[in-house]
Amino acid sequence: MDFSFIIQQVVNGFSLGSMYALIAIGYTLVYGVLRLINFAHGDIMMVGAFLAFIFVGLLTGWKFENVTMPVFLTAVGFSIILTAFIGVLTYVTAYKPLLDKNAPKISLLITAIGISFFLESLFNVIANQYFGGNYQSFYFPKWFSQVLHFGDVTVPILTILVPIITLLLLGLVLFILFKIKVGIAIRALAFDIQTVKLMGADSNKIIAFVFALGSALAAIGGVAYAMAYPSIDPYMGVLVGLKAFAAAVVGGIGSVTGAVIGGFILGFVEVAIPGFLPELGGWKDAFAFILLIFVLLFKPTGIMGIDFERQRF
């Protein structure tokens, strides 16, 4: 148990936590505006990773080994745009009609589960039909897996890059929310949806923007996740999505900064506990929920302490 081992674990925790954070931001934004747990969000992240895989395939003529940096970044860019579009599509086709009809909340939640299961089974069929199996290796340029040496600590570039990108994106989201008109509209919507409508703002456009923003971040998270594990499968979003939601609650649901903090905490816990207590390794996936239950018991508002009666984001 030397110092470099601890540093190694911290870096890994940061990296894993960033992926949870990217997905948790989407949960927290949608929950803040609609008070809806968007169960499909984890699967949106899977869609992002899958689309990146498909675009890389299309651009390289299905010779994945040849993927170069410009090709990869183009593919990821396309994937982010298309995933954002799919996120908006779920809102427009499934959630909006229910909201318009003033349907009870349970209908929205059932729809969310329905979308989630639909995306999973759809990509399951696509993967089985066209790629010959559920599990696919995810190819990316070699540059990302180059190893950097800091004394005894060895870190792949990817592991450092992901947290940096996450923090930059957090800055971007905070900038949008607090400095740009649409962001101010989002916060107003989270505060009181009826009054915003009375003020003449088009609440549908604003909510659609929230879905697009959340889905784009989920796509980035999905690509990062696929690169870290280098594989994708249609059900990869389920567990990650659930954990990211737990992270959002731990950080204080409704708070974007809280979502990132919650994601980092969860990443640390998941890396540190099996690292220091290997006999608990099989329980890795359960930590998120134990953490969630404890937060609900002792500090339901989460770390950032968002109380929905008083403040937003």
The footprint of other proteins (CB under 8 A) covers 35, 37, 39, 94, 97-98, 101, 103-107, 109-111, 113-115, 117-118, 121-122, 124-125, 128-129, 238-239, 242, 245-246, 249, 282-283, 285-286, 288-289, 292-293, 296-297, 300
User: Would you say 202 or 307 has its CB closer to other proteins?
Assistant: 307
User: Would you say 11 or 40 has its CB closer to other proteins?
Assistant: 40
C-alpha span between 140 and 67 (Å, rounded): 6
User: Would you say 184 or 239 has its CB closer to other proteins?
Assistant: 239
Closest approach, Cβ 288 to other proteins, in A, equals 7
Partners of 218 in the beta sheet?
A: none
Closest approach, Cβ 116 to other proteins, in A, equals 8
- Whole-angstrom CA distances from 77 to 38, 56, 70, 243 are 24, 11, 10, 25
DSSP 94: I
Q: Nearest Cα to 5, choosing from 158, 160, 154?
A: 154
Closest approach, Cβ 4 to other proteins, in A, equals 30
Instruction: Collect all residues with Cβ–Cβ distance below 8 Å to 214 and sequence separation of at least 6.
Output: 25, 26, 27, 29, 30, 38, 41, 44, 87
Closest approach, Cβ 266 to other proteins, in A, equals 13
User: Would you say 106 or 147 has its CB closer to other proteins?
Assistant: 106
Strands 231-232 and 153-156: unpaired
C-alpha span between 259 and 20 (Å, rounded): 9
User: Would you say 120 or 162 has its CB closer to other proteins?
Assistant: 120
- Whole-angstrom CA distances from 123 to 46, 50, 55, 62, 264 are 9, 8, 15, 18, 29
Closest approach, Cβ 72 to other proteins, in A, equals 29
Closest approach, Cβ 272 to other proteins, in A, equals 18
User: Would you say 168 or 290 has its CB closer to other proteins?
Assistant: 290
CA 253 to chain CA centroid, nearest Å? 14
User: Would you say 185 or 233 has its CB closer to other proteins?
Assistant: 233
Closest approach, Cβ 270 to other proteins, in A, equals 13
Is residue 234 within 8 Å of 144, Cβ to Cβ? Answer: no
Q: Nearest Cα to 83, choosing from 256, 230, 215?
A: 215
C-alpha span between 295 and 10 (Å, rounded): 23
